[in-house]
Amino acid sequence: MDTLHLRSAGTSLVMSFDSGEAEVIHWGADLGSTLPDLAILGEPVPHSAIDATVPAGLLPQASSSWRGRPALRGHRLADGVSGLDFSARLRVVTVNAEGNSAVIVQADSDAGLTVSSSLALHDGGLLELRHTVTNDGSTPYQLDELATVLPVAPDAVELLDLTGRWCRERHPQRRPIQQGTWVRTGRHGRTGHDSSLLFAAGTAGFGNRHGKVWATHLAWSGNHEQFADSIGDGRTMIGGSELLGPAEVILEPGASYTTPALFAAYSDRGLDGISEAFYSWFRSRPHHVLPAGGAGKPRPVVLNTWEAVYFDHNLSTLIELADSAAELGVERFVLDDGWFRGRRDDHAGLGDWYVDESLWPDGLTPLIDAVTSRGMEFGLWVEPEMVNLDSDIVRSHPEWIVGPSVQSYKDGGRLPLEWRNQHVIDLVNPDAWQYIFDRVDALLRENNISYLKWDQNRDQLEHGHAGRSSVHEQTLAAYRLFDELKKAHPGVEIESCSSGGARVDLGILERTDRIWASDCNDALERQTIQRWTGLVVPPELVGGHVGPTTSHTTARTHDLSFRAITALFGHFGMEWDVRGVQGAEREELKRFIALYKEHRGLIHSGRMVRADVADTSLMLHGVVADAESLKGTTAALFALVSTGTSFAEQTGRITIPGLEPDLTYRVEAIFPAPGDADHGHTFTQVRPPAWLSNGAVAGGRFLAEVGLPMPNLNPEHALVLRFTAL
């Protein structure tokens, strides 16, 4: 086979094998079914350069004159002599294609290496790529890096990646593409609060709904690098690799290493097109929480106890809370940190996964029964990868703490610095892994638990097992824990939490059912956190909670409607002592919960739309249902959100993109409604736009091009707009 052409949902991937190397000719817009003779792409040879056309290899390598970051680096460990720190001369051995997937095998018999690359272009246009390198030689081979990269077209001139910290995860940063390498390194031993969920290159000024974008995501929860590598000949590669520690992966003869998957999407309609490709892939997975266009169990309304009671666990308080939650319409009650042996605060107990007999003399059953008898599911918080020094498990197994020394700290080894008073348990040690598995398994067998909130609250910095770097093995061992527990308890859902949103990636999401986007329940911060998390992760997998009126993490105060509308476009819940929510505010909360229940089918299956609004104090985002199923139903739900004050005297017309151009819609502002407690706070004008009281009727094309005049919103307020197709 000389050429491979995969096509799906407006995307083409064209590869050529003519030069003997797997060359990526094009990853971008769909090229149709007929390709010209690719020989026309033969490049001229400039002065002072290699005398040959240089391919953009699937595995860029020095042997074909790639002077950027090579995809494969490593060396042989034989007779005390290191090998050469260049890659290899990989040449195609076989190409096997079937439908929209292919496996390409390249080898270098002199170097004793084979790399097998598997590619799949999924139905929604998302490309999945991973490489496996095998040591065919007779001596050990130390692998330093195996990267998954793809070339972007020359008209990509800007980069967008995400960064953040605790309570401010996933905020965008942009820069021009210039010669050199822009690298985002994660050395947290977990994905990291600052990890770039997406690494995107695009045409000048690409936005939410305009411009061409090429974007990659590395599906890995350990150390990693993501980068854009732009070399002197004008080409740019984007992608990433697992960041391996010294001698962390040594391949014995015959052994292999497989990279994390690189997911890659192309869009000619800005970032929304990238989200569409990711959402379509998530929703096509058979184990997705709502596969097949939203069919399945609706995402239940959650009450999480953390910001309601923190460590103050007391059966009668918790039953009162469960009572109050059930009365509001809550469907899942999650008991957070504080229920296990010795855990009165965050100094002790991690690792002792037994219900604390002093607090719970009859175990968790009385609470679980109270919860389930009120028609709710019961969920439990755990943090299986961590231990406190003050725990029975560390007292009996000090050697199970991960650290730089071979000896345990009891025998003179050095303990890593503490983080929230805790350490990492060495899951690479089979006994420690088995202990943790057995404890969580027993909790699930002995109690009626439908849901685990699985936390992971520290970076893993000095990470060693038996004197060798071990983030790689630890990450795989943690994945194995999830996988085995899921296998043993197939009905149990798991939430991935990591000091809020420090473990959000497609590696963890392959084995969990939702992520906790951030510990910040401040709705203003959440607007940005959720917008950028939602770039890749669909809303049904992103937990969003209505927190207390004054945020515990920022001390900002927000009306209920702003907090609720913010949580609406995710998997909705509350994290608030709702026993104290009374009167008009309680009625408003109930109305809102009913609104979520009515519309979650749409929110969790539709197309996400984020408008490019000129006024930067406003955001407009929404979800649009599939055209087929629209007539007479809620066809779309949007939120107009004010994040600050504006220079503009009045908001004026806002255009609403993404609706079906040829359908006619009734548009209504439905929340907060005139009777709601905080309705009067939301607007600031003498006379609101005429359509606001009785709704408006207009076509999708008109709404996208002309728009509707919107009310002036007070800062940090929002309005829900419902679109019914007529």
Q: How many CB atoms lie within 10 A of CB 163?
A: 18
Nearer to ligand DGJ by C-beta: 455 or 559?
455
Q: DSSP for 360-408?
A: -TTTTHHHHHHHHHTT-EEEEEE-TTEEESBSHHHHH-GGGB--S-SS-
Q: Is 339 near ligand DGJ (CB under 6 A)? A: no
Nearer to ligand DGJ by C-beta: 275 or 457?
457
Nearer to ligand DGJ by C-beta: 543 or 658?
543
Q: Is 459 near ligand DGJ (CB under 6 A)? A: no
Q: Is 308 exposed, middle or buried, given 0-12, 13-18 or 19+ CB atoms closer than 10 A?
A: buried
User: CA–CA distance from 401 to each of 338, 429, 466 (Å)?
Assistant: 22, 10, 11
For 686, residues 6+ apart whose C-beta sits below 8 A from its C-beta are: none
Nearer to ligand DGJ by C-beta: 29 or 492?
492
Bridge-based pairing of strands 127-135 and 262-267 is: antiparallel
The catalytic position among 144, 161, 352, 455 is: 455
Q: Is 388 near ligand DGJ (CB under 6 A)? A: no
Taking the complex as a whole, how short is the minimal distance between the CB of residue 508 and ligand DGJ, in angstroms?
Answer: 14
Q: Which stretch binds ligand DGJ (CB under 6 A): 49-57, 232-240, 497-505, 686-694?
A: 497-505
Reference 168, options 456, 459, 553; nearest CA is 553
Nearer to ligand DGJ by C-beta: 473 or 519?
519
167 is annotated as contributing to ligand binding: no
Strands (E), 457-510: 464-465, 468-469, 493-496
Which 423-452 residues touch ligand DGJ, going by CB under 6 A? Answer: none
- Name which position in 141, 199, 381, 665 contacts ligand DGJ (CB under 6 A): 381
Q: Would you state the structure tokens that stand for residue 156, as one six-digit string?
A: 């990509």
Reference 302, options 567, 586, 638, 501; nearest CA is 567
Q: Which residue is nearest to ligand DGJ (CB)?
A: 337
Q: Is 457 near ligand DGJ (CB under 6 A)? A: yes
Whether 519 is catalytic: yes
Q: Is 306 near ligand DGJ (CB under 6 A)? A: yes
Taking the alpha carbons at both ends of the chain, their separation in whole angstroms is 52
How many residues interact with ligand DGJ (rule CB under 6 A)? 11
Nearer to ligand DGJ by C-beta: 210 or 503?
503
Q: Give the three-class secondary structure for 140.
A: coil
Gap between the Cα atoms of 223 and 479, Å rounded = 14
The catalytic position among 161, 352, 519, 559 is: 519
Q: Would you state the structure tokens that stand for residue 662, as one six-digit string?
A: 């040829």
- Name which position in 388, 499, 642, 724 contacts ligand DGJ (CB under 6 A): 499
Nearer to ligand DGJ by C-beta: 206 or 381?
381
- Name which position in 202, 500, 538, 570 contacts ligand DGJ (CB under 6 A): 500
Q: Is 380 near ligand DGJ (CB under 6 A)? A: no
Q: Is 497 near ligand DGJ (CB under 6 A)? A: yes
Would you say 353 and 364 are in contact if contact means Cβ atoms under 8 Å apart? no
Reference 531, options 542, 545, 519, 515; nearest CA is 542
Reference 225, options 193, 257, 195; nearest CA is 195
Taking the complex as a whole, how short is the minimal distance between the CB of residue 500 and ligand DGJ, in angstroms?
Answer: 5
Q: Which stretch binds ligand DGJ (CB under 6 A): 43-51, 495-503, 506-514, 531-539?
A: 495-503
Gap between the Cα atoms of 525 and 566, Å rounded = 10
- Name which position in 169, 229, 336, 399 contacts ligand DGJ (CB under 6 A): 336
Gap between the Cα atoms of 537 and 42, Å rounded = 40
Amino acid letter, residue 181: T
Interacting residue ranges for ligand DGJ, rule: CB under 6 A: 306, 336-337, 381, 455, 457, 497, 499-500, 516, 519
Residues marked as binding? 166, 336-337, 420, 453-457, 497, 519
Active site members = 455, 519
Residues marked as binding for substrate? 166, 336-337, 420, 453-457, 497, 519
